């Protein structure tokens, strides 16, 4: 752990003796060897399963049975992907997931932002209590509200649409988002809002003109947290998906695995790989924001 | 100034949408669910008030009690493993890899964003036995072992579930704890080193006490997430073999939506909520005192 040189290298004028630095480098390599070995094992454990799955998605049915499991595909055929889209409904599932996720995340972020402003920047009696009241929702598991909501949606006659999912995700995302938004507003100096008021800006205008642009980064961070939790959810999607046409990608994957079971590996592998590849692309572009955002969301939640 | 920021109309416009969604879709359903736990039946069949019978049934229901144990066991084992591995990784990032840790951090973190269903199906394929055997059993065969049908046994399924959860989320806890470790002032670590604390002693006496708050919030977060485990155990083995690995969440889901027992389902949901509450308080109460010292 301590790589500080034990004996400080004395800078002598003239040619330095050759073997000493060499031996030191060699010693450092030997000392570093266990670390590199550990990191290599770690990376193989983390990356190989995903690599193996993506490679599997290009294999033909006969390759699965004829070749060893770690063999690479003989040729990169896209048949499995075509199969996943045509027979596996992956396209429809993706569309549903997006139609549910984007409005939910938009609503969660906007509602949370407005509430955060009203609870942190605006000054009124009882705002602490209201914030605590909303934060209480963070603790409540989703199972607690499923049955009543299912009944209510059924009575309203909206179960045959994606609306129940959007409403439920929005309600579930609001507590944490409001709390985080209030915390972010706390970090913005009040003077900014007060200066705007001095310049004749009303509080509502201040919200749109000052707060929204200032909170762009926070909105993106929280939006990403909520995007992943909504997009990856199974419980609510499973409860409120009444017909296969309404299935989100998670529900679709689950039924695809039941349907294909142990016979059609290719299409199943392709469907899972689509998930991995799409999220990997998003992740590569936004990884700093995602990592920071998820970490912030959990520490404060 | 206070008059401007106390403007009632603005407060209402900004707060009302959030508050009404929250009250209508979360607070009222919670209260409704609490009420339902004293009833039997469902919307189509009608409801019948049965007082505390659901709670009595719960305490004598072996499937429900098994579910409690699955949830608690899973939560405790996974939390210990997750926070331990996450902490070791964080120490690796900060003290061994240092500035060069970005790629490793990203690679280990990535599975966190993958849907649990996809991860579960991936692991199911990795450990598959038979005609299209996965690499895990192939490796076991290569070393001369017999193929193991992990999902045929309760212990095997739970092992895979734990490994799988650890695989997908330890990178997340590592990043969480890594940011905590970065907050420790360099001078404190340096002066401890000067005083002769190195390696395990440095970690034990300086690093762990200083990162205790973030360790505790990781534990609370992990317990709360794992007590609600649903997707992974459902997608991995459908709570099987039989119902031996069905957590409370899955038992609640089946009771309410497959057997249409709304009242009893609500009772199970309440038990789950209480479990989360108790676990948080147990970790939080003594810890908040310690952090203040």
User: Across the A/B interface, how many CB contacts are shorter than 8 Å?
Assistant: 273
Residue B132 has pLDDT above 50, yes or no: yes
CB A248 within 8 A of CB A254: no
CA–CA gap between residue B35 and residue A130 (Å, rounded): 24
In the numeric block, which tokens belong to residue A300?
């404060």
CB spacing of A168 vs B118 below 8 angstroms: no
Q: Looking at A48-62, A89-103, B26-40, B273-287, which range is the least confident one? A: B273-287
pLDDT digits 0-9 by tens, A10-33 = 444 555 555 556 777 788 788 788
Q: Which residue of B8, B22, B91 is the best one to mutate when testing the A interface, meaning the one whose CB has the most A CBs within 10 A?
A: B22
CB spacing of A235 vs B253 below 8 angstroms: yes
Q: Name the A residues in 189-208 with CB < 8 Å from any B CB.
A: 193-194, 197, 202-204, 207
CB A19 within 8 A of CB A27: no
In the numeric block, which tokens belong to residue A228?
């992943």
CB spacing of B118 vs A254 below 8 angstroms: no
Q: B229 CA to chain A: closest CA distance, Å? A: 10
| CB neighbour list of residue B206: distance below 8 Å, 6 or more residues apart | B188, B189, B192, B197
In the numeric block, which tokens belong to residue A99?
């139609």
For A42, the closest of B15, B104, B132 (CB atoms) is B104
CB spacing of A202 vs B7 below 8 angstroms: yes
Chain centroid, CA A262 distance in Å: 30
Q: B1 CA to chain A: closest CA distance, Å? A: 7
User: CB distance from A118 to chain B under 8 Å?
Assistant: yes
User: CB distance from A150 to chain B under 8 Å?
Assistant: yes
Q: What is the mean pLDDT of chain A?
A: 86
Query: What pLDDT, on a 0 to 100 scale, did the predictor assign at position B1?
Result: 59
CB B37 within 8 A of CB B54: yes
For residue B128, the chain A residues in CB contact (below 8 A) are 262
CB spacing of A52 vs B171 below 8 angstroms: no
User: CB distance from A285 to chain B under 8 Å?
Assistant: no
CB spacing of B132 vs A69 below 8 angstroms: yes
A240: nearest CA in chain B?
B257
Residue B291 has pLDDT above 70, yes or no: no
Query: What pLDDT, on a 0 to 100 scale, did the predictor assign at position B292?
Result: 46
Query: What pLDDT, on a 0 to 100 scale, did the predictor assign at position B74?
Result: 97
Residues in chain B: 293
CA–CA gap between residue A157 and residue B217 (Å, rounded): 42
- Helix or strand or coil: residue B49? strand
Preceding omega of B241 cis (within 30 degrees of 0) = yes
DSSP B81-132: HHHHHHHHHHHIIIIIIGGGGHHHHHHHHGGGGS-HHHHHHHHHHHT--STT
Cα four-point dihedral sign B144, B145, B146, B149:
negative
Q: Which residue of B24, B26, B174 is the best one to mutate when testing the A interface, meaning the one whose CB has the most A CBs within 10 A?
A: B26
Q: Looking at A116-120, B81-85, B188-192, B255-259, which range is the least confident one? A: B188-192
User: CB distance from A94 to chain B under 8 Å?
Assistant: no
For range A33-39, the mean pLDDT:
90
pLDDT digits 0-9 by tens, B155-179 = 999 999 999 999 999 999 999 999 8
CA angle, A122 then A207 then B24, to 5°: 70
Element at B41 (helix H, strand E): strand B39-42
Predicted TM-score of the model (pTM): 0.89
ipTM of the complex: 0.91
For residue B121, the chain A residues in CB contact (below 8 A) are 253, 257, 268, 272
Residue A129 has pLDDT above 50, yes or no: yes
For range B267-293, the mean pLDDT:
79
CA–CA gap between residue A169 and residue A171 (Å, rounded): 5
For range B130-143, the mean pLDDT:
86
CB B187 within 8 A of CB B43: no
Q: Which residue of B2, B15, B133 is the best one to mutate when testing the A interface, meaning the one whose CB has the most A CBs within 10 A?
A: B15
Query: What pLDDT, on a 0 to 100 scale, did the predictor assign at position A264?
Result: 72
Q: What are the angstrom distances between the C-alpha of A100 and each of A110, B115, B206, B264?
A: 16, 16, 47, 30
For A253, the closest of B10, B26, B118 (CB atoms) is B118
| Residue showing tokens 């973190």 | B109
For range A196-207, the mean pLDDT:
88
In the numeric block, which tokens belong to residue A73?
């595909």
Query: What pLDDT, on a 0 to 100 scale, did the predictor assign at position B54?
Result: 92
A124: nearest CA in chain B?
B6
Chain centroid, CA A213 distance in Å: 23
In the numeric block, which tokens belong to residue A175?
């507590």
| CB neighbour list of residue B274: distance below 8 Å, 6 or more residues apart | none
**CB environment A286-296: b (16+ within 10 A), e (fewer):** bbeebbebbbb
Strand partners, B46: B42
Strand partners, B47: B41
Outline where chain A has alpha helix (H): 19-56, 61-66, 79-86, 90-120, 127-135, 143-156, 163-187, 190-198, 203-206, 212-214, 216-231, 235-240, 249-260, 265-300
CA–CA gap between residue A34 and residue A103 (Å, rounded): 49
Q: How many CB atoms lie within 10 A of CB B65?
A: 12
pLDDT digits 0-9 by tens, B19-73 = 999 999 999 999 999 999 999 988 888 888 998 999 999 999 999 999 999 999 9
CA–CA gap between residue A54 and residue A57 (Å, rounded): 5
Question: Given pLDDT bands bounded at 50, 70 and 90, which one contains residue A299?
Answer: low
For range A275-298, the mean pLDDT:
83
- Helix or strand or coil: residue A264? coil
Residue B288 has pLDDT above 80, yes or no: no
Strand partners, B49: B39
CB B181 within 8 A of CB B202: no
Query: What pLDDT, on a 0 to 100 scale, did the predictor assign at position A5?
Result: 43
Cα four-point dihedral sign B46, B52, B55, B56:
negative
In the numeric block, which tokens belong to residue A151?
């009944």
For A294, the closest of B104, B108, B172 (CB atoms) is B172
Q: B76 CA to chain A: closest CA distance, Å? A: 18
Query: What pLDDT, on a 0 to 100 scale, did the predictor assign at position B286?
Result: 65
Query: What pLDDT, on a 0 to 100 scale, did the predictor assign at position B290?
Result: 52
CA–CA gap between residue B44 and residue B46 (Å, rounded): 6
CB A150 within 8 A of CB B35: no
pLDDT digits 0-9 by tens, A226-270 = 999 999 999 999 999 989 899 999 999 888 877 655 567 788 889
| Residue showing tokens 């009222």 | B28
| Residue showing tokens 């004293």 | B38
Residues in chain A: 301
């Amino acid at each position: 752990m301590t790589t500080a040189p034990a004996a400080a290298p004395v800078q002598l004028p003239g040619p330095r003796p050759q073997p000493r630095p060499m031996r030191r480098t060699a010693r450092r390599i030997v000392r570093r060897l266990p670390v590199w070995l550990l990191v290599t094992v770690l990376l193989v454990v983390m990356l190989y399963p995903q690599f193996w799955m993506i490679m599997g998605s290009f294999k033909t049915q006969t390759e699965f049975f004829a070749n060893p499991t770690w063999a690479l595909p003989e040729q990169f055929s896209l048949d499995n992907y075509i199969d996943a889209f045509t027979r596996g409904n992956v396209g429809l599932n993706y569309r549903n997931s997006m139609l549910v996720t984007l409005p939910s995340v938009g609503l969660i972020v906007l509602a949370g932002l407005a509430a955060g402003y009203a609870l942190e920047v605006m000054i009124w009696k009882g705002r602490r209590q209201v914030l605590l009241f909303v934060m209480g929702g963070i603790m409540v598991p989703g199972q607690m509200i499923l049955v009543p909501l299912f009944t209510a949606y059924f009575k309203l006659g909206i179960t045959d649409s994606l609306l129940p999912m959007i409403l439920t995700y929005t309600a579930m995302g609001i507590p944490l988002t409001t709390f985080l938004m209030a915390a972010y507003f706390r970090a913005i100096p009040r003077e900014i809002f007060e200066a705007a008021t001095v310049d004749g800006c009303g509080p509502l205008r201040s919200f749109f003109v000052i707060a929204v642009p200032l909170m762009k980064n926070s909105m993106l961070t929280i939006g990403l947290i909520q995007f992943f939790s909504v997009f990856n959810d199974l419980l609510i999607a499973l409860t409120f998906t009444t017909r296969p046409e309404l299935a989100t990608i998670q529900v679709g994957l689950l039924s695809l695995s039941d349907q294909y079971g142990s016979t059609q590996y290719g299409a199943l592998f392709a469907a899972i790989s689509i998930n991995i590849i799409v999220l990997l692309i998003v992740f590569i572009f936004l990884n700093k924001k995602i990592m920071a955002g998820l970490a912030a969301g959990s520490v404060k939640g | 100034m206070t008059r401007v920021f106390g403007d009632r109309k603005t407060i209402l416009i900004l707060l009302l949408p959030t508050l009404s969604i929250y009250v209508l879709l979360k607070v009222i359903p919670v209260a409704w669910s609490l009420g339902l736990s004293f009833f039997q039946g469902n919307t189509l069949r009608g409801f019948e008030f049965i007082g505390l019978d659901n709670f009595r049934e719960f305490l004598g229901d072996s499937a429900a009690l098994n579910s409690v144990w699955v949830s608690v066991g899973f939560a405790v084992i996974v939390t210990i493993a997750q926070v331990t591995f996450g902490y070791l990784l964080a120490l690796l990032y900060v003290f061994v890899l240092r500035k060069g840790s970005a790629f490793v951090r990203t690679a280990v973190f990535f599975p966190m964003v993958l849907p649990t269903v996809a991860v579960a199906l991936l692991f199911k394929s990795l450990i598959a036995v038979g005609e299209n055997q996965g690499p895990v059993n192939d490796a076991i065969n290569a070393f001369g072992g017999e193929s193991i049908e992990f999902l045929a046994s309760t212990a095997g399924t739970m092992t895979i579930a734990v490994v799988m959860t650890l695989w997908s989320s330890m990178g997340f806890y590592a990043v969480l704890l890594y940011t905590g470790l970065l907050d420790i002032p360099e001078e404190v670590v340096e002066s401890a080193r000067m005083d002769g604390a190195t390696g395990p002693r440095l970690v034990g006496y300086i690093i762990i006490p200083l990162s205790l708050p973030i360790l505790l919030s990781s534990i609370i977060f992990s317990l709360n997430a794992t007590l609600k485990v649903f997707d992974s155990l459902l997608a991995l083995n459908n709570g099987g073999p039989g119902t031996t690995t069905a957590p409370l969440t899955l038992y609640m889901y089946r009771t309410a939506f497959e057997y249409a027992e709304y009242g009893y389902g609500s009772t199970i949901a309440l038990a789950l909520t209480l479990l989360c509450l108790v676990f948080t308080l147990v970790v939080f109460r003594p810890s908040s005192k310690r952090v203040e010292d």
